[in-house]
Structure 1
Amino acid sequence: MFTDSSNGSGPVAAAATNETDVAYLASGPICPSWLPTNHLLFQLSNIFLFLSYMAPGGIHGLLYLRICLTLGSFFFALWGYVILCAFDTLVWNAFFTLLNLVHVCVLMYILRPVRFSAQMETLYRDMFQPLKVSRQQFQSVAGCVKETLDLKPRENYSLEGVSRADRLTLVLAGRLLASQNGRGLQIVDKHEFLDSPEWFGVCSTDYYQVTTTALEKCRVVVWNRDKLKLTISGDAFLKAVFDNVVGKDVVKKLLFVMESSSNGVVHDPDSVSESTKLLIQMKNEKSGMGVLLNRQCRDCTGVSVWNLSQYAGSMPALDPETTV
């Protein structure tokens, strides 16, 4: 089959074109003359694209990247509309500008300042900020707070076998006594949990095994335990932080009770220092726990703090079920 090359098509014409291109490239420089420099809008858009390649890591770096891309796309769209007069250049870059602007708004919402109440701010600063918990993460924890209670001296917070173990309680101010069968076990101080053992493997239908009574004016923050566990389950880091903090509190309580019951000694929280012995021996055939409780309750004259039967009527009504 023969091909007519008179109309400029076919293998013969293609070969002639290739030979012409090769001859042109071999004849001299590729760009014998340069076009004028593009408009300032074009230069600005490329400057912002260049800056976007220098974005650091992290969420703040991502915000910086999106801002640079937004400005770069905007100047490209403006250049295509004002200087180039190219509709497709305008449309594409306007779309890129809008898309990156949405990302900027979302990131700024995520990074917005998070404010807490004075007590929660102190709690975050003292307990959770040193563990690298962000304010946004702690905001979800604060959202699970059920209530904040103020307790009077000798007022019961929970009763063994009566109060449901459906919460997690942290002491914000004051001291409380944990007792069982009228026997004092532990004094719970500021920023310690009242019910940390119930955090692990206890259902909301179970009941507390100890009674907790305020030794002085106290304030406690109460989390809905099921809601809190559900909230932090989606954040592995936050869940690990809570398991660590609560677990440390459990170990501290167990060691204190074991030392007090088996060795007849107890830590003295008021007189401890770097040079002080960690244990106090028995005094006058009384256990260290009894000595400490008598000292803590010396102002409660006329009433035995751990004789809790007379305070049963002061307990607030308990919710029959956990509301999540």
Structure 2
Amino acid sequence: MERNSSLWTNLIDEHPVCITWKQEAEGAIYHLASILFVVGFMGGSGFFGLLYVFSLLGLGFLCSAIWAWVDVCAADIYSWNFVLFVICFMQFVHIAYQVRSITFSREFQLLYSSLFQPLGTSLPVFRTIALSSEVVTLEKEHCYAMQGKTSIDKLSLLVSGRIRVTVDGEFLHYIFPFQFLDSPEWDSLRPTEEGIFQVTLTAETDCRYVSWRRKKLYLLFAQHRYISRLFSVLIGSDIADKLYALNDRVYTGKTYHYDIRLPNFYQMSSPKIRKSPLTEHFRNSRQGCDK
């Protein structure tokens, strides 16, 4: 304790106190450096936020080095500020190279700008997602999946074109760009389970979609928890959109509108109304899920 107190005394108490202060202000370069420091530390996160921070901090340290060389004439102050300027410059070049090296094909660029970027997904994370996938072309009137035949072994996201979803030859709904092709099937199975499509997906136009193999995607989820949560949000939102799209298509007789949120109320309020095939299929699918 005595040794620590003596050190504090030597540093603070016995240090000469400033008796007179300089009347004139420092030069403009010094104040410019201070402004750059203040603005630089207001930078955000992510790659572009780091570019912003290191560029302004580097300029601030450069101005401080010039001020120390010209006005103060202090070699130690100049040396430290110049070294910090070099470090910031090297960091800026390194980050700029990383950003420039991340390039995608047109499909992935559209996918990132339309779906992933609004959710705050960074380019390195999206690159990890993109490297685990492949872009596939589906010609007009070709089937992506056939009811009762195609196994569920991948997850796909439509980039361009339009897909028609049918069950027993009856139309259910469309799948438009930036919607998943098989999100309900994906969500209905556990990682260790296998299943078969209960609907048929047919391309109405020439389509292109991004596809992830099921096992490879689960491995990616295990390695990156953020990507797992991201896909969970995207798939959940996509399933909700499909349910409401199906709800808009399902009508019963006498202008009753079948609401997917109130199946029991519908059955009690109109027990004698003949159910359409779409209504019956949807009711059976709900009962299967409840089991």
Matched, 1:189 2:175: yes
Alignment correspondent of 1:47: 32
Output the CA distance in 2 between the equivalents of 1:114 and 1:50: 33
Alignment correspondent of 1:16: none
Report SS of the residue matched to 1:58.
Answer: coil
- Quote the offset at 1:52 in angstroms: 1.0
Alignment correspondent of 2:88: 100
AA of the residue aligned to 1:93: N
- Residue pairs, 1:251-290, within 5 angstroms: 251=240, 253=242, 266=250, 287=276, 289=278
- Aligned CA RMSD, in angstroms, stands at 4.6
Q: TM-score, normalised by structure 2?
A: 0.59
Report SS of the residue matched to 2:136.
Answer: strand
Confirm or deny: 8 A CA contact 1:169 1:193 kept in the other structure. yes
Matched, 1:234 2:220: no
Q: Which 5+ residue runs of structure 1 have no aligned equivalent?
A: 1-20, 268-275, 291-324
Q: TM-score, normalised by structure 1?
A: 0.54
Alignment correspondent of 1:151: 139
Output the CA distance in 1 between the equivalents of 2:244 and 2:140: 28
- Quote the offset at 1:146 in angstroms: 1.6
Alignment correspondent of 2:212: 223
For residues 12-55 of structure 1, the C-alpha deviation after alignment (integer angstroms, 9 at most, x for no partner) is: xxxxxxxxx9xxx9xxx933x959877x5xx5145213431234
Confirm or deny: 8 A CA contact 1:49 1:68 kept in the other structure. no
Output the CA distance in 2 between the equivalents of 1:116 and 1:234: 21
For residues 237-279 of structure 1, the C-alpha deviation after alignment (integer angstroms, 9 at most, x for no partner) is: x54442223123334556777x79xxxx726xxxxxxxx9856
**Pick from 192, 197, 202: which aligns with 1:214?**
202
Confirm or deny: 8 A CA contact 2:33 2:64 kept in the other structure. no
Relative distance call for 1:48 and 1:89 in structure 2 (3 A) is closer
Output the CA distance in 1 between the equivalents of 2:120 and 2:50: 20
Alignment correspondent of 1:319: none
Output the CA distance in 2 between the equivalents of 1:160 and 1:204: 21
Output the CA distance in 2 between the equivalents of 1:69 and 1:37: 23
- Quote the offset at 1:107 in angstroms: 4.3
Confirm or deny: 8 A CA contact 1:150 1:219 kept in the other structure. yes
- Residue pairs, 1:131-150, within 5 angstroms: 131-133=119-121, 137-150=125-138
How many residues are paired up?
240
- Give the share of equivalent positions with the same residue, in percent: 26
